[in-house]
Amino acid sequence: MGNLDGRIAIVSGSGRGIGREIALKLAAEGARVVVNDLDAEPAKETVAAIEAAGGTATTCVGSVTESGFGERFVQTAVDTYGGLDIIVNNAGYTWDSVIQKMTDEQWDAILDVHLKAPFQILRAAQPVISDLVKKARQAGEPVPCRKVVNISSLAGTGGNAGQANYSAAKAGLTGLTKTIAKEWGRYNVTANTVAFGLIKTRLTEAPADTGGTIDVAGKQIKVGVNPDLLAAMERMIPLGRGGAPAEAAGAVYLLCTPESDYVSGQTLVCGGGFDF
């Protein structure tokens, strides 16, 4: 028996890194998971790992910024598993520059993936959740506590040099989360944010050279942190190290459990003791 037996979850950006670990954790606790990634292979690999461990999962491949993606993502959960209980908005990447060098393209791309896409997914989920709640109440059945967890960052709570776009998007996500907590409380839905500090993923791990990049829709985006800067950042963390993706997933899981059913509209900082 898992803490999330019978629950249906969608997790964006769950083919790799933190998102993968979130999907694995939710599935290990009994949730049926819709795995999303920009690319098919990482999504399939996450599903295979879940199934190998005895869990249940399916894929919904594509960019969260694509027109109509929110509806397709939500509908995959409904068509495959018959409902929707947990929404984790995790997908994203960084595209950094100091403000005087940041282009409109950089600004728009990061706001789209980190703020507009979660908004669109939540907008698509509202009629589904409303209908499920209405049917339960008409049948005299209890309405389960559903969960929204939006992934933010300490850049969103305190800003970060070189990340005006990312910081603004993540700060905006906090406002969106608090609004959903107020609007959806009547459906017995909690909405919370997890703000990560330094978590060691492909986006933060120091590249072997200065040419570390990821491919986003055919565009090569430079990622990675200078090794000296990374070491300095870790020295500022009271626990003395960056977090592992599985530890980040644990913070998200906390807000998906029944034990957090009366926690809503909050931001949980997962940063090893470091905060702004």
Annotation says 93 is catalytic? no
Distances (CA, A) of 188 to 257, 261, 262: 14, 9, 10
Q: Which candidate in 81, 93, 166, 253 is catalytic?
A: 166
Q: How far apart are CA 269 and CA 243, in angstroms?
A: 12
The residue type at 187:
Y
Whether the Cβ atoms of residue 222 and residue 176 lie closer than 8 Å to each other: no
Q: Crossing angle for the helix pair 104-111 and 164-184, nearest 10 degrees?
A: 30
The residue type at 100:
Q
Alpha carbon 120 to chain centroid, angstroms: 14
Whether the Cβ atoms of residue 222 and residue 152 lie closer than 8 Å to each other: no
Q: How far apart are CA 220 and CA 214, in angstroms?
A: 6
Active site residue ranges: 166
